[in-house]
A and B are shown apart, each in its own frame.
Chain A
Amino acid sequence: MKILVCVKEVIDPEVPVNSIDIDSDLWKFSPKQGVSKVLNGFDENAVEAALNIKEQIPATDITILSVGKDFSMDVIKKPLSMGCQNLFLVKDDKLDQTDPFVTSNVLYKAIRKIGDFDLILCGRHASDWDNAQVPIGIAELLNIECVTLAKGITVDNNEIVIDRIIPGGIEKVKTSSPILVTVSNEYGEPRYPNLRGIMAAGKIQPTIFSLEDIDLTDEDLISTNEIIEIFIPEKDSNCEFVAGEDEYDIGRNLALKLRDKNLI
């Protein structure tokens, strides 16, 4: 089976807002010195899903694809050290923006260049812009169906069954290749790379494409949206803290206060 996983480097979503700079001309986010980039968490879930399929069907080949202006190799190679085989990068200064239409176009053209895949996996969304659009865009451009929000994927000969998260439960979706699936964190924790994996990843050279290599036109790079402003929402916090002689007493007073205010 040939699997492609699309991944993205993001600013660590757990860092506080003051570790991030916003460029207010171009509305770009960049991490301050010393703040790390990480692989988008849901993309790691997607990588994990691909690796589980490979464990079941050893003849599986997993290719990782990412697009961007520049990459930190230790981040973008993580899927290789987890056990994936190939890495393709589309790298260009012009790819410094995050318009979902542009990103989808680039990924689509890169996929056409690399070859056919039975299964394309993506994270459910990227934790920076939270758009959840690019995977659907790729499927639409490739003219294949797409199943979002997978919690489980089982492959049995030509049949693929996806446990898809819906409000209040899951639905089982039966489908077949080629198909694009987005994976959610409910899929389960991604594995840690082991030493052997890290060694193997060190030997894999990424294939790097320029925009010309994948026949991208200027039209493909036109963004559809314009960001007018980005700001940190203001909160007028006025929390009333409950006092007490000791912590047990605080608990007691808290209960009384809630009753006082008719909240319980």
Chain B
Amino acid sequence: MSKVLIFTEIYENDFDSSVLEMISMLRDLNIDSKNIIVAALGDDLYSKESILQNIPVGKVVGYKNIDTNQFNPNILMKLATGIIDQLLPEKIIIPKTSVGQDLAPRLAFKYKYGIVNDCLSIEESDNHWIGVRPVFGGNYLAKVKIKSDKQIFCIRTKVFDEFDEKNINPSIEFFEYEHNIETNSQIIERIQEQSDGIRLEDADIVVAGGRGLGGPEPFDTLEEIAKLLNAAVGASRAVCDSGWKDHSYQIGLTGKDISPNLYFTVGISGASQHMAGCSNSKHIVSIDKNVDANIFKDAEIGAVGDWKNILPGFLDTLQNLVKN
């Protein structure tokens, strides 16, 4: 059985938890975690051995004293290339994080690996791995087989539960980087979005509005509801592209990926590209005037009608409920 390599990011105090999801996914394919090698990407890994020790696989490899210039993709590419040169893995798994989705195709082209991007899962058939991935914004699912033996699968995060066996510890091997790590592109500054409330990605409840709201003003009501529910506010792309809300509010394929307990939408039709970012919500509850809107295919509770009339009844009742 050939070994499988997973790439993962190592931060200041922890590894990216998506690696645990990848291990779960591989377990479903009967790959024992002891047969997995994790390639760690991060700054100054030599000082982070205690973090690497906690990754429950057979082996962890990484470069010793590197400054990745804040995960500069062009530098990560060089490091990943070095690791592949050492290990020559056949199968590579890359979680579709911001770093991973950039790295996966780069490696594929560099090494002529076949790649299936954005997989929701991998199925096995006749000893072949087949990536299952959404196309056309999620309107369709495609099953894709890579013809060569050298394969990269980039896997969506938050689809698999985290692997939670704690009593597996890896052997750790550090490499020395011997080539020139300099790149033409340098990250000179990081600017974090200002947000006063709860982060969309962390919220237990998300209240979101769409084009059906007709303008920026009704978002005040959504903010009010969110405040009462201790929720974060989000929006569809139509809203952000119209400038009613900043793009940091956008949920979906090209926006944020959320997984709240309750996702509450108003005037969002439920286009597949939107649902791509919220289908991991536990419960979806929607208000829309169109009973045939797509959103009601995913929603568990629906209210059909004009939000201008429904929301006041909702808000008044909510205020009473909260008071008591």
Give me the interface of A with B, judged by CB distance under 8 Å: 11, 13-14, 17, 20, 22, 27, 29, 100-101, 104, 124, 127-133, 136-137, 140-141, 145-148, 151, 161, 166-176, 179, 184-186, 189, 223-233, 235, 237-242, 244, 246-259, 261, 263-264
User: Quick one: given A133-B115, A133-B117, A254-B303, are A179 and B185 in contact (CB under 8 Å)?
Assistant: yes
**Interface pair B136/A136, CB less than 8 Å apart:** no
List the 5 shortest-distance A-B pairs measured between CB atoms, nearest first.
Answer: A251-B313, A247-B309, A251-B314, A255-B317, A248-B313
A-B contacts, 22 of them at CB < 8 A, read A129-B135, A130-B117, A137-B105, A145-B185, A146-B106, A151-B247, A167-B98, A173-B72, A173-B187, A224-B147, A224-B148, A225-B114, A233-B141, A247-B305, A250-B313, A252-B314, A253-B313, A254-B313, A254-B314, A256-B317, A256-B321, A264-B205
For B101, the closest partner residue in chain A by CB is A132
A237 is contacted by which of B247, B297, B304 (Cβ under 8 Å)? Answer: B297
Give every chain A residue within 8 A of B108 (Cβ-Cβ): 133
For B150, the closest partner residue in chain A by CB is A224
- Nearest chain B CB to A249's CB is how many angstroms away? 6
Give every chain B residue within 8 A of A100 (Cβ-Cβ): 105, 115
User: Quick one: given A239-B296, A251-B313, A255-B321, are A17 and B139 in contact (CB under 8 Å)?
Assistant: yes
**How far, in whole Å, are A167 and B321 apart by their CA atoms in the complex?**
35
**Interface pair B314/A264, CB less than 8 Å apart:** no
**Interface pair B303/A241, CB less than 8 Å apart:** yes
User: Quick one: given A145-B184, A251-B303, are A239 and B70 in contact (CB under 8 Å)?
Assistant: no
Classify the secondary structure of A's interface with B. Answer: mixed
**Interface pair A176/B184, CB less than 8 Å apart:** yes
B122-142 Cβ-contact flags toward A at 8 Å (1 or 0): 000000001000111111111
Give every chain A residue within 8 A of B285 (Cβ-Cβ): 254, 258, 263
The count of chain B contact residues (Cβ–Cβ below 8 Å) is 87
**How far, in whole Å, are A225 and B135 apart by their CA atoms in the complex?**
15
Interface check B178, CB cutoff 8 A: no
Number of A-B residue pairs, CB cutoff 8 Å, is 240
A255 is contacted by which of B145, B186, B314 (Cβ under 8 Å)? Answer: B314
**Interface pair A168/B185, CB less than 8 Å apart:** no
User: Quick one: given A17-B140, A185-B241, are A228 and B298 in contact (CB under 8 Å)?
Assistant: no
Interface check B216, CB cutoff 8 A: no
A169 is contacted by which of B145, B192, B316 (Cβ under 8 Å)? Answer: B192
Give every chain A residue within 8 A of B310 (Cβ-Cβ): 247-248, 250-251, 254
**Interface pair A166/B190, CB less than 8 Å apart:** yes
B102-122 Cβ-contact flags toward A at 8 Å (1 or 0): 100110111010111110000
